[in-house]
Structure 1
């Protein structure tokens, strides 16, 4: 087992359209995370349109309100939710420690515990949902602790579809290209990352050939921190984030995991607690990387990077996130706005990841958005929140 796997075990023990883009871009005060929404300060100088015309900010005022913020949704548990799948504004799934899976169908007003029977000893770190009924959840750990389970009836029943039988493997993340084709990532085995593949929606899995996978660096592995160390965009492109080695790297495959190329990010590594923790791609060329040093009190001065060539090269953010960030997502239908989250807060970019500013100081591990502008975040102590516009509480 790599030192990164030991680090993960320590972590587990203690450790939206143009209108939405313009709304978030308002240079207002930090967005509050509250159980009840506060009245936002008036926005000034909203960017996005030509003088004299109807600007993106005007559309935001009409369609979504000017300063959205996280609205906490009571889950009734203290579980840490590092797995999150946003289906829409009404529907979302979260997965976390103690084998816990919850889902909501009413925007977070109530949650149904749909945890798989007998899973209390499992550590769920990623969940991918296709709709309100179908989802795949990944448990991490050495050997048989790494498992994949699937439901097709909203969590009423679960089937275990993969159990790792190699004590050298440690699975971190899962991603899907569509409702049938997906991949799961293991830390290096025999010096190279191992990839599982499914072509039937997670009902069965097979290990892909490793001939097209570059060698891993000494001490390098993935971080099972947010379900975003393996992400996809379009029908066949997938990216893999690494840390712990000499440099934080991003690997890319254009053919669903058969062949890979590798590029260095600008996010520092060189320690089991440092590297690239989360990735997000809005298409096959434009991507964001976040990370840093997850240890409390440790500086993460270069926690963000961007690419515009599919991950072949990465640029350091001019103004990176304020600290370590484990999760990142593009806002729906936006070409320039995204959110990054971590235990130290939420940061917003409105220029494609070049500059970030902190808009919330609440603790979250991961973040995800659905096409209908339903954006969710989750993290420690049962924290789950939805991004809310002004005046909307449904």
Structure 2
């Protein structure tokens, strides 16, 4: 009797979540948007709302839509055609900050405040040993960018003026990196923030780890996770509903069809492997609104969790690299062959 009651309560809770978020019909599915750019891979994704979204990818390409994906405008910087964008953070339809990857001066950060008509190169990396992977904004003014280890420690870049200028943080408060440890520039979500705190994830070394900072990236603590790590394996994406509830997904990008223990959830301070994992490499994850529902994507498909990342169920077999939900509950995904989509529930 007690078990039946608990099951009824759980089912009712999911029903309430679905109703309040507008989830009706037969479950989630992706509605593809025609970007007409089948040669571009969009690993950078920044949804603002159901109408406004930005994507960024290879060949210096940045697109923006203001009508829910019916039309896309190419708005990338003119001098970035040889570069790869891997992350973009947008505040609205006019203001965005985008990051390119690579050694030395290929790692750059561009900003726009007029919808992409004009871009400023706010940061150009001059250190041949640095390689920037991803970035996040704690609020509209304060942001951080993450480089793979330089001199044995991960490097943090910081801005306090909305991305217009950046400074390298001292590494005194950064724990030492493991041998071979680095971050994955897979979906713009190896560095994320929630509740004024910042978090980044790693792989490559003996264990996958999550670093956290509560003082704007000046000092960091680190904890190991149960997600397997290796030369091409580890955590590829983090998502936090709040500082005490997190998701981590990954696997081995060299073996995309098999990822045992490739997803974990955080409750309090402990990472636990999901009871039912996607079972395949996943490069992006996001919470849907403020409840326990979440999404994960990768080159072999998309999964949904209704219980805070404890159990995952596959609902799509298409390839995506990144997934994020906007403040209004709309969810977007992007990836290879110019694929961009918005989630539908009916």
TM-score range, shorter chain: over 0.9
| Alpha-carbon separation, structure 2, partners of 1:150 and 1:118 | 13
Question: What is the Cα deviation at residue 322 of structure 1?
Answer: 2.5
Q: Please list the CA deviations of residues 183-209 of structure 1 after superposition, one character each: whole Å capped at 9, or x if unmatched.
A: 000000000000000000000000111
- Say whether residues 1:49 and 2:26 are aligned partners: no
Question: Whose strand fraction is larger, Structure 1's or Structure 2's?
Answer: 2
* Structure-2 residue corresponding to 1:23: none
Question: What is the Cα deviation at residue 255 of structure 1?
Answer: 1.1
* Structure-2 residue corresponding to 1:380: 336
Report the secondary structure of 2:78's partner residue: coil
Question: What is the Cα deviation at residue 62 of structure 1?
Answer: 7.3
| Alpha-carbon separation, structure 1, partners of 2:306 and 2:319 | 21
Alpha carbons of structure 1 residues 180 and 61: separation in structure 2 relative to 1, 3 Å: closer
Q: Please list the CA deviations of residues 157-213 of structure 1 after superposition, one character each: whole Å capped at 9, or x if unmatched.
A: 000000000000000001001111000000000000000000000000001111110
Q: Please list the CA deviations of residues 69-89 of structure 1 after superposition, one character each: whole Å capped at 9, or x if unmatched.
A: 100000010200000001000
Alpha carbons of structure 1 residues 80 and 210: separation in structure 2 relative to 1, 3 Å: same
| Alpha-carbon separation, structure 2, partners of 1:250 and 1:299 | 22
Alpha carbons of structure 1 residues 169 and 63: separation in structure 2 relative to 1, 3 Å: closer
Equivalent runs, 1:70-89 vs 2, <5 Å: 70-78=30-38, 79-89=40-50
* Structure-2 residue corresponding to 1:280: 239
Preserved CA contact (<8 Å) 2:18 2:24: no
Question: What is the Cα deviation at residue 333 of structure 1?
Answer: 2.6
* Structure-1 residue corresponding to 2:307: 351
Report the secondary structure of 2:179's partner residue: coil
Out of 59, 79, 83, the position equivalent to 2:19 is: 59
* Structure-1 residue corresponding to 2:137: 176
Alpha carbons of structure 1 residues 61 and 342: separation in structure 2 relative to 1, 3 Å: closer
Preserved CA contact (<8 Å) 2:257 2:279: no
Aligned Cα root-mean-square deviation (Å): 1.8
* Structure-2 residue corresponding to 1:326: 283
- Say whether residues 1:255 and 2:209 are aligned partners: no
Alpha carbons of structure 1 residues 62 and 265: separation in structure 2 relative to 1, 3 Å: closer
Structure 2 residues not aligned, in runs of 5+? 1-7
Question: What is the Cα deviation at residue 360 of structure 1?
Answer: 0.8
* Structure-2 residue corresponding to 1:133: 94
| Alpha-carbon separation, structure 1, partners of 2:256 and 2:46 | 29
Question: What is the Cα deviation at residue 388 of structure 1?
Answer: 1.5
Preserved CA contact (<8 Å) 1:60 1:66: no
* Structure-2 residue corresponding to 1:240: 200
Alpha carbons of structure 1 residues 48 and 244: separation in structure 2 relative to 1, 3 Å: same
Alpha carbons of structure 1 residues 306 and 58: separation in structure 2 relative to 1, 3 Å: closer
* Structure-1 residue corresponding to 2:162: 201
* Structure-2 residue corresponding to 1:295: 254
Out of 29, 42, 58, the position equivalent to 1:97 is: 58
Report the secondary structure of 1:49's partner residue: helix
Total equivalences in the alignment: 338
| Alpha-carbon separation, structure 2, partners of 1:153 and 1:299 | 43
- Say whether residues 1:265 and 2:225 are aligned partners: yes
Q: Please list the CA deviations of residues 75-113 of structure 1 after superposition, one character each: whole Å capped at 9, or x if unmatched.
A: 010200000001000000000000000000000000000
Alpha carbons of structure 1 residues 99 and 299: separation in structure 2 relative to 1, 3 Å: same
Alpha carbons of structure 1 residues 171 and 106: separation in structure 2 relative to 1, 3 Å: same
Preserved CA contact (<8 Å) 1:333 1:371: no
TM-score (norm 2): 0.94
Report the secondary structure of 1:48's partner residue: helix
Preserved CA contact (<8 Å) 2:23 2:345: no
Preserved CA contact (<8 Å) 1:291 1:304: yes
| Alpha-carbon separation, structure 2, partners of 1:141 and 1:86 | 24
Alpha carbons of structure 1 residues 70 and 258: separation in structure 2 relative to 1, 3 Å: same
| Alpha-carbon separation, structure 1, partners of 2:75 and 2:246 | 33
* Structure-1 residue corresponding to 2:326: 370
| Alpha-carbon separation, structure 2, partners of 1:232 and 1:60 | 25
Structure 1 residues not aligned, in runs of 5+? 1-44
Out of 340, 361, 369, the position equivalent to 2:296 is: 340
* Structure-1 residue corresponding to 2:4: none
